[in-house]
């Protein structure tokens, strides 16, 4: 890699970082508006046009609140917890391919923070590390409600990570690669009919979706911060911007989970008929091949974000529709339903691949 | 056991069917319900009244902020008799009476008038008893105005500057409890010495 390419790549990383923060910021606004609309209310509409300055007002509020340390709390860990949650949440968006590569002459820029061949494992690792942020924060608070919330978060994440990983294995069996970029590219191959993974892995997707809700601690699985039982869960004792970091990392996690689901099951930055569009641009508009490619890459980035926003909306839609699960129901769902179902899904996928049924079905479908 | 009233209902607790245990159909049903509300809100059909830009219509008999009325010639009606203060259950009204000087007949209707007249809106319970007590039809509770919120306590003590209605008849409160013409003439006939 030459220096200018590195420079461009650095810029991409900065843009991804900034976009992640911006989206997380406006998720807080979107959450309120969506919640309000689902409940026939108006939502924030005072700060700025349509209340768009509301996140800024919230940030000012968070920063100017009193910084409170509970007595008997472990000060260093108390600060470390939210920092860790935030850092890991931000790091996990690094490997997500937001677009294909832009090409300017010899310079090729991947629209992705870093391309590593174990991208999926990296995301999983980061998400699991995020639980430590919650654990440490809950433990350091010296409060039994916080501790209970933290323990719940840990056990819930472990349980659901299993089912999530098993659902993922079925995808990996078909793709043969852990790189998120490869998985995306495989879902759309020029010149042949290729379906997004959702068509091939419907069961896997549902399992993954349910687990994503549990991993991001969203309703109906927001047991770690269950107000009715645990006051505020692991962040009961937190105030000011440290609380802000926890809430923020939750929204970043939602963003990352949405991005991962778009990549794994909804074709990532691919959109239908992209190669046809490119060829049409070249043949009847007379654009150069590079320019045409760059155009569909940019449209693809738009498509990727549209998918992500759709998922974020879905997260919020579900949150304001469903009540919270009881803890034993949560555990039973995870261990006795999702994990066996995921294993069954693996066997099914394996069987279909071995029997060569998927290519056969495609042949039949295309006549 | 035989129930005495025959109103008892036997509740059957059936085991959940597979569809119920799979949660998903019920979840989907719930999602469609909330989506209907979402779409309705998108069309701006919420029932929310966006106060202070929008206000609810006041009832015609609403008892709001007080006003000290002027008569047809623009003179203050109040004669500082103190009956309102006596009637007030919250003891919100205080006043200082004074004698009308020569040449002030165009300002005050009666020979005795209120030099200062204060109502403490934090004490007032807006019962309207002052209005009923007043023999001079001088004090009314407006039906279209409320005592607005303020930051300081002493700002709630309304003096004559804020209670007496403007001299310009056009600017006076049109709503609220008003005398009909007939009542006004009758009243003035009673009060004016023949
Ligand atoms: S409305 Fe009632 S409480 Fe208020 S000043 Fe009149 S008499 Fe007193
Ligand atoms: S407002 Fe009426 S009752 Fe009160 S002092 Fe004046 S004239 Fe008397």
Summarised one tens digit per residue, pLDDT across range A300-337 is 888 889 999 999 999 999 988 888 888 888 888 888 88
- A323 in B contact zone (CB under 8 Å): no
CA dihedral A342, A348, A352, A353 (to 10 degrees): 40
pLDDT tens digits, one per residue of B100-143: 888 888 888 888 999 999 999 999 999 989 988 998 888 888 88
Structural domain of A344? 3-366
Between chain A and chain B, how many beta carbons pairs sit less than 8 Å apart? 40
- 3-class state of residue A183 by DSSP: helix
Please state the domain count of chain A: 1
Mean pLDDT for A20-27 is 89
pLDDT at B173: 64
- Residue-wise burial string across A247-268, b where 16 or more C-beta atoms lie within 10 A, e elsewhere: bbbbbbbbbbbbbbbbbbbbbb
CB nearest to B31's CB, from A41, A42, A321: A321
Q: Is the CB of B82 under 6 A from ligand 2?
A: yes
Mean pLDDT for A79-102 is 85
pLDDT at B107: 85
Mean pLDDT for A77-86 is 88
Q: Where are the alpha helices (DSSP H) in chain A?
A: 3-38, 54-64, 75-91, 119-140, 144-175, 180-186, 197-200, 202-215, 227-230, 240-265, 274-285, 289-319, 327-332, 339-354, 357-366
pLDDT at B194: 43
ipTM of the complex: 0.73
pLDDT at B93: 92
In a 13 Å sphere around the CA of B180, the CA atoms on its Cβ side amount to 3
Mean pLDDT for A334-347 is 89
pLDDT averaged over every residue in chain A: 83
Mean pLDDT for A175-202 is 78
pLDDT at A366: 66
Residues in chain A: 367
Mean pLDDT for A65-88 is 85
Residue numbers in chain B where pLDDT is lower than 70 = 1, 169-170, 173-181, 183-194
For B66-168, the fitting CATH number among 3.40.50.2000, 3.40.50.300, 3.30.70.3270, 3.20.20.70 is 3.30.70.3270
Q: Which residues of chain B from 3 to 22 reach within 8 Å of chain A, CB to CB?
A: none
- For the entire predicted model, the pTM comes to 0.77
Mean pLDDT for A339-349 is 90
Q: Taking a C-beta distance cutoff of 8 angstroms, is the pair A16, A298 a contact?
A: no
Q: Tokens 């654009």 label which residue?
A: A287
């Amino acid at each position: 890699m030459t220096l200018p390419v590195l420079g461009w790549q650095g810029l991409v990383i900065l843009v991804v970082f900034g976009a992640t923060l911006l989206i997380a910021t406006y998720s807080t606004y979107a959450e309120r508006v969506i919640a309000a609309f689902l409940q026939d209310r108006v939502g924030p509409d005072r700060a700025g046009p349509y209340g768009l300055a509301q996140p800024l007002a919230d940030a000012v509020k968070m920063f100017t609140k009193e910084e409170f340390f509970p007595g008997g709390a472990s000060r260093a860990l108390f600060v470390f917890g939210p920092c860790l949650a935030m850092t890991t949440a931000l790091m996990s968006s690094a490997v997500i391919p937001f677009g294909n590569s832009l090409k300017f002459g010899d310079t090729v820029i991947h629209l992705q923070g870093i391309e590593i061949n174990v991208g999926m494992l990296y995301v999983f690792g980061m998400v699991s590390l995020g639980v430590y942020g919650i654990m440490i924060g809950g433990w350091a608070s010296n409060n039994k409600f916080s501790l209970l919330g933290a323990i719940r978060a840990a056990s819930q994440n472990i349980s659901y990570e299993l089912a999530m990983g098993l659902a993922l294995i079925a995808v990996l069996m078909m793709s043969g690669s852990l790189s998120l970029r490869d998985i995306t590219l495989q879902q759309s191959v020029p010149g042949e009919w290729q379906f997004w993974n959702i068509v091939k892995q419907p069961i896997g997707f549902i399992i993954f979706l349910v687990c994503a809700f549990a991993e991001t601690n969203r309703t109906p699985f927001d047991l770690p911060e269950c107000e009715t039982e645990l006051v505020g869960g692991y962040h009961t004792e937190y105030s000011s911007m440290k609380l802000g970091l926890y809430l923020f990392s939750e929204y970043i996690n939602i963003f990352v989970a949405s991005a991962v689901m778009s990549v794994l099951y909804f074709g990532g930055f691919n959109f239908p008929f992209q190669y046809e569009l490119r060829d049409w641009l070249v043949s009847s508009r007379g654009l150069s091949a590079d320019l045409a490619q760059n155009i569909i890459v940019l449209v693809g980035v738009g498509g990727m974000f549209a998918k992500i926003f759709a998922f974020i909306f879905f997260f919020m839609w579900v949150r304001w529709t469903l009540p919270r699960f009881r803890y034993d129901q949560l555990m039973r769902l995870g261990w006795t339903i999702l994990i066996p179902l995921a294993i069954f899904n693996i066997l099914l996928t394996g069987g279909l691949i071995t029997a060569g049924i998927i290519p056969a079905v495609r042949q039949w479908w295309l006549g | 056991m035989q129930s005495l009233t025959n109103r008892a209902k036997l509740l059957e607790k059936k085991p959940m069917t597979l569809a119920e245990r799979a949660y998903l159909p019920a979840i989907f049903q719930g999602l469609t319900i909330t989506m209907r509300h979402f779409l309705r809100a998108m069309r701006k059909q919420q029932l929310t009244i966006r106060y202070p830009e929008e206000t609810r219509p006041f009832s015609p008999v609403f008892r709001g902020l007080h006003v000290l009325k002027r008569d047809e010639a623009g003179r203050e009606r109040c004669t500082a008799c103190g009956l309102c203060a006596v009637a007030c259950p919250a003891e919100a009204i205080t006043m200082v009476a004074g004698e009308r000087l020569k040449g002030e007949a165009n300002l005050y209707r009666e020979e005795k008038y209120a030099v200062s007249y204060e109502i403490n809106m934090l004490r007032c319970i807006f019962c309207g008893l002052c209005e009923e007590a007043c023999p001079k039809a001088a004090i009314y509770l407006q039906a279209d105005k409320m005592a607005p919120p303020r930051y300081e306590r002493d700002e709630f003590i309304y003096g004559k500057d804020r209670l007496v209605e403007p001299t310009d008849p056009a600017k006076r409160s049109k709503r609220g409890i008003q005398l009909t013409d007939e009542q006004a003439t009758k009243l003035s006939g009673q009060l004016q010495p023949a």
